[in-house]
Structure 1
Amino acid sequence: MQGLANLGFTCAINSLIQIICRNDLMRDTIINYEIDESSLLTNLKEVLVLMHINNKSIVPKKLVAKLYSIFGNIFNYGEQIDITELWIFINQQIISEINKDERYYNLILDFDNLKLNSKNIINGVAYDTEPDYKNALVSSHFLSDKFAHDYIQHNENKISKWQQITQGFILNITTCRNCNNSLFNFEPFYALYLNIPENSQNINIVSMISQLFIDDNYNGDWICDKCNCKTDYIKSTKIWRLPDILFVIINRFINPNVKNDTPVDINPKLCFDKGTVLFDLENDKNYKLASMALHSGNTYGGHYTAICETDGSFLIYDDTNISRIDNFLEKNKNAYMLSYSLVS
């Protein structure tokens, strides 16, 4: 088994490398790229090749040095890194590097083929009756054009395989409670951030995901274009598109001085039923647990490890120490970042 030496507060880096390496789709996608040798992607690829193909434990000095050279203004050497922030920054860096090589990305759409002159499409699709609002969620070509516009804008009209497997989209809806005027906008995500509910029993990943999509009511601080005044409104969030690899982050550090150690039950499978994902209304989306980053300790110090499915079993990767682990799904107070792989 292939471990990674801790070079001083690099347990978060080591854990994230293991999460990528033990996921066949993520690992193989990275390995198949051949770009600038000085890139972060190529440095990561070298580590993955040594670990997976050559079956070696390594001291990742070169990759760690590269990370700090890129993110030195964000992460200080010798201080603990937040693995969730590390994932977001590394992912964005990889996307940026791939998009510099035209061999590895496709243009999403020719702007001239999309009718983008409408103010509503650019600023947010609006519907002012409840029937139109409901129909928009399932059949509106206007809303599809809005997604195409936002998809192009967010991705600078480029899309790579790596981005396809890690990027999802949510649909944000703001609805005036006075006139039903509704504004639709799309937002990309690379992880779902889950809040731990207070005073709840049997908290699990599924229940926390469900909380993301409960409508919220607000009073008087949104200006409705139709009413031309501040009105009460409803904010809704829907899933538009899910990625092949779904990252889920449990918000354990809302308070900068306190870590929330509330135990959470880990669902080994996630099922988004037919009709839940608006981009593909006809099919269920089923995921299985692929990995989990654990944080033990508090806000001032701690240690990261990773649990990853490897050859049909779950192993815990603790720098150079690797062992099989069972019974980690129930009442887990250290689970921090999870990844799920799309099955069907």
Structure 2
Amino acid sequence: MTFLSWLFPKLPEGATGLMNLGNTCYLNSVLQCLSHTEYLTEFALQYKLPYYIKGDQQRHYTESVAESMIQVIQQIYSAQSTISPKEFLITFRAYNKSFCNGEQKDAAEFLMLLITKVDSDLRNQTYSVPPPSVISADYVQSFVDYSLKNRSIITQIMGGMIHTHLECSFCKASNDFSEPFTIIQLPIQIMFSTNNCKMPYITLYDCLESFMQSSHVCSVCFKLQTPYRTFVATPPILVFQLLRFKQTEKGSEKDTTRVFYPLRDLVVSGVKYELYSQIIHYGKINSGHYTANCVINGEWFAFNDGSVDKIENANVMNSSAYLLFYKRTETPK
């Protein structure tokens, strides 16, 4: 090993930075996490983009937001240096004008808009992906019907379903319904010790429990009730958003409570998952910065716009984690 190779080690395939085009760290972070989502990456790398011939060169072009995203993923895995997502940004802004003002945006909002559009663009284009883990056979037909009507690579890898049973303790009305999801929004429930002092941290399991038990309004008497929720099916890729940004009497505020989350062996309804990507939000609600951490070949790398650095596992756990991407490692026996 030469001194230069030691000083500037060669990064693995996929460890490519994205240029910041002016308050686009939210976009770069989301694209990095999606680019390191196993099945989506495989789908994108084998996707044949349309092209035209100019002179003796073949040049690709894109016809949708989905194809623009796919082009970025292909460039991330073929480039030798930082790339610009300018064409993708132009295409996305043409689809959603609210992103044209050049202001900082919420990464979770952008992720939801992006995967919803990609799901629509790639409807009926599927890939060989392991099926979801069926948790509740009683309600699985609802998920089957939903999946058949909404077939795409997005629903294949990120689509799950939760069933809610509500029995009102006031009017005795009961209601059952199932809802699909691609991102689970988790409230950060503040924990208290036995002496009623506020604790500085909670766990991801606490947040998940709070979500599953969150109140629901009775459709008959309109009073709040605690429903019984259960997963019908969990997807190969499970994405959590920690709801750090809240509206209070003082306006919008960021919840800085530390949430402990497992890197491995997260168990959701008997299904095991491990963390492979995350988005971090630093700073205040209106003047912060987004970065991403992603796994490549079993090692963690930090993506800060155009900068990419290897990090140790001990540095992955971050008190400012905002979006957590987990992949399934084991299904119930």
Residues 146 and 96 (structure 1 numbering): CA distance in 2 closer, same or farther, change over 3 Å? closer
The one of 285, 291, 297 equivalent to 2:283 is 297
Give the aligned residue type for 1:262. T
Give the distance between the partners of 1:138 and 1:86, measured in 2 at CA: 31
Residue aligned with 1:49, SS: helix
Paired amino acid for 2:119: I
State the 1:196 CA deviation. Answer: 1.3
Cα distance, 1:97–1:197 mapped onto 2, change above 3 Å = same
1:49 maps to which residue? 74
Matches within 5 A, 1:209-248: 209-214=208-213, 216=215, 222-223=219-220, 233-248=225-240
CA distance in 2, matches of 1:146, 1:171: 9
Q: Is 2:264 aligned against 1:269?
A: yes
Identical columns (%): 24
Quick one: which amino acid aligns to residue 99 of structure 2?
F
Flag as ranges the 4+ runs of structure 1 deviating above 6 A. Answer: 229-232
8 A contact 1:206–1:270 mirrored in 2: no
- Name the counterpart of 1:287: 273
- C-alpha spacing 1:57/1:104, structure 2 compared with 1 (3 Å): same
Where does residue 23 of structure 2 map in the other structure? 9
Specify every segment of 5 or more residues in structure 1 that has no aligned partner in the other structure, as ranges: 106-136, 224-228, 277-283
CA RMSD of aligned residues (A): 2.8
Alignment of 1:81-96 (within 5 A): 81-96=105-120
Provide closer, same or farther for how the CA distance between residues 103 and 44 of structure 1 changes in structure 2, counting only shifts above 3 A: closer
Distance 2:224 2:103 in 1: 45
Counterpart residue number, 1:167: 159
Cα deviation digits, residues 301-331 of structure 1 (max 9, x gap): 111100111121111100111112233355x
- Within the candidate set 174, 187, 195, 1:195 is matched to 187
Which of residues 25, 43, 60 in structure 1 aligns to 2:85? 60
Identify unmatched segments of 5+ residues in structure 2: 1-14, 51-61, 128-134, 191-197
On the 8 A contact 1:289/1:339 being kept in 2, the answer is yes
> What's the CA shift for 1:177?
2.8
Aligned residues of 1:272 and 1:286 also touching (Cα < 8 A): yes
TM-score after normalising by structure 1 = 0.75
Equivalent in the alignment of 1:78 = 102
| Rounded Cα–Cα distance in structure 1 between residues aligned with 2:319 and 2:70 | 32
Instruction: Assess if the C-alpha contact under 8 Å between 2:279 and 2:324 holds in 1.
Output: yes
Q: Secondary structure at the match of 1:68?
A: helix
Q: Is the 8 A contact 2:143 2:161 kept in 1?
A: no
Cα 1:87–1:270 change in 2 (3 A) is farther
Deviates more, 1:207-216 or 1:10-19: 207-216
Q: Which residue of 2 aligns with 1:260?
A: 255
* Aligned-partner SS, 1:59: coil
Cα distance in 2 between the residues matched to 1:104 and 1:244? 14
Q: Note the C-alpha offset of 1:159.
A: 0.9
Residues in 2 aligned to 1:232 and 1:194: alpha-carbon distance in whole angstroms:
19
**Which of the pair is proportionally richer in helix?**
1
